[in-house]
């Protein structure tokens, strides 16, 4: 099987960090670039977290800084869950890695434009601000991608409001641009990511793999678990890592084709992904939506990623 060329768009973030680890170490993937947006924390923090992680693990993919704010709204970071730094837990040494000079949205537009059609997969695991900007800069970004895998939305429950998931709620206008762009979207929403949750026993067993990645994982997931238990009453879902694991092994998820609209003016439903599961609108599907996940496929891929850095 040929390697899959991927770009990761992140707002690093505890689970974003794990997504980067899996993407950077998978032999099935080539991580071409990491683009960073504001989301879980302000851009300076999400960028710093991304660069620190890459530096600590020797991840050489270029890192591009992107949007500091959602398109139309103020940023509301997820400090409750990810902490003041956005990646509370691990402590990093002073770093050498620096961000590229080009803006992330411009870089995304350039990289997709330069690549042969259907050769690049974009995995977006933060608010969709950079992606929407790239599509506005160069509309063919949407149609040239092999796949746009989005961590965001939900058919059912929300996690930031009863109705809405964080990434879509953070920048609903950007999400509306992306979902109506014609891109080959795979939506990895809460319906699937909440089926892959980390408990104490799994955290202990993955931490015991050893090496720098497992150490960062252990410290950041310890914080993430405590926050999710405290504020959500749930074990932490492997939201962003699931998207990368799916790119490696599509059997991870069961998908259905649906038409999805993003609510950007609702009073109680702002940021909801309205998924037409019954075909009421008769509109053609614009996304393949994850409806189920097989966690037995996920955990070995995560263990393999952590083990990549434990071999000395
Ligand atoms: C999403 O929100 C963020 O806090 C996580 O990193 C993930 O991308 C889950 O709703
Ligand atoms: Ca994220």
Give the domain CATH number at 173: 3.90.245.10
- Please name the residue that has the structure tokens 């939900």: 154
Boundaries of domain holding 270? 4-308
- This model's pTM is above 0.95: yes
What is the structure's pLDDT at 3? 84
What is the structure's pLDDT at 258? 98
Tally of domains within the chain:
1
> Which residue is catalytic, options 11, 15, 16, 191?
11
Answer whether residue 1 shows pLDDT above 60: no
pLDDT tens digits for 93-147? 999 999 999 999 999 999 999 999 999 999 999 999 999 999 999 999 999 999 9
Q: Which atom of ligand 1 is nearest to the CA of 40?
A: 4
Token pair of 248, please? 């490696």
What is the structure's pLDDT at 270? 97
Evaluate: CB of 124 within 6 angstroms of ligand 1.
no
100/113 Cα distance (integer angstroms): 18
2 band by pLDDT with thresholds 50, 70 and 90: low
pLDDT tens digits for 27-41? 999 999 999 999 999
Report CA Rg, the chain.
18
pLDDT tens digits for 230-258? 998 999 999 999 999 999 999 999 999 99
Gap from CA of 189 to ligand 1 centroid (Å) = 10
Gap from CA of 281 to ligand 2 centroid (Å) = 31
Task: Indicate the SS3 state at residue 284.
Answer: coil
295/193 Cα distance (integer angstroms): 9
Closest-approaching ligand to the CA atom of 158: 1
What is the Cα 77 distance to its own chain's centre? 15
Task: Indicate the SS3 state at residue 14.
Answer: helix
38/12 Cα distance (integer angstroms): 9
What is the structure's pLDDT at 312? 54
Gap from CA of 171 to ligand 1 centroid (Å) = 13
Answer whether residue 284 shows pLDDT above 90: yes
């Amino acid at each position: 099987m040929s390697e899959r060329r991927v770009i990761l768009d992140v707002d690093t973030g505890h689970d974003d960090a794990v997504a980067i680890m899996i993407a950077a170490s998978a032999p099935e993937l080539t991580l071409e670039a990491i683009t960073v947006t504001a989301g879980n924390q302000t851009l300076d923090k999400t960028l710093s977290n991304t660069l620190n992680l890459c530096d600590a693990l020797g991840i050489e993919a270029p890192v591009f800084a992107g949007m500091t704010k959602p398109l139309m709204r103020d940023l509301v970071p997820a400090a409750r869950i990810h902490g003041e730094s956005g990646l509370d837990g691990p402590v990093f040494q002073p770093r050498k890695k620096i961000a590229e000079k080009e803006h992330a949205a411009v870089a995304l537009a350039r990289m997709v434009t330069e690549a042969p059609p259907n050769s690049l997969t974009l995995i977006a695991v933060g608010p969709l601000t950079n992606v929407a900007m790239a599509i506005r800069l160069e509309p063919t970004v949407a149609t040239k991608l092999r796949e746009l895998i989005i961590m965001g939305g939900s058919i059912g429950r929300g996690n930031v409001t009863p109705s809405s998931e964080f990434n879509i709620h953070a920048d609903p206008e950007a999400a509306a641009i992306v979902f109506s762009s014609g891109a080959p979207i795979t939506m990895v929403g809460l319906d699937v990511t909440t089926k892959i949750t980390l408990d104490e026993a799994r955290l202990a067993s993955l931490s015991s793999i050893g090496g720098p990645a497992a150490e960062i994982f252990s410290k950041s997931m310890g914080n993430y678990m405590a926050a999710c238990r405290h504020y959500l009453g749930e074990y932490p879902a492997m939201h962003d890592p699931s998207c990368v694991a799916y790119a490696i092994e599509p059997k991870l998820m069961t998908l259905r084709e649906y038409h999805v609209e993003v609510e950007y003016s609702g009073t109680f439903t702002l940021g909801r992904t309205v998924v037409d599961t019954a075909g009421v609108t008769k509109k053609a599907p614009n996304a393949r939506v994850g409806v189920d996940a097989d966690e037995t496929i996920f955990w070995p891929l995560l263990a393999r990623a952590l083990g990549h850095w434990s071999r000395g």
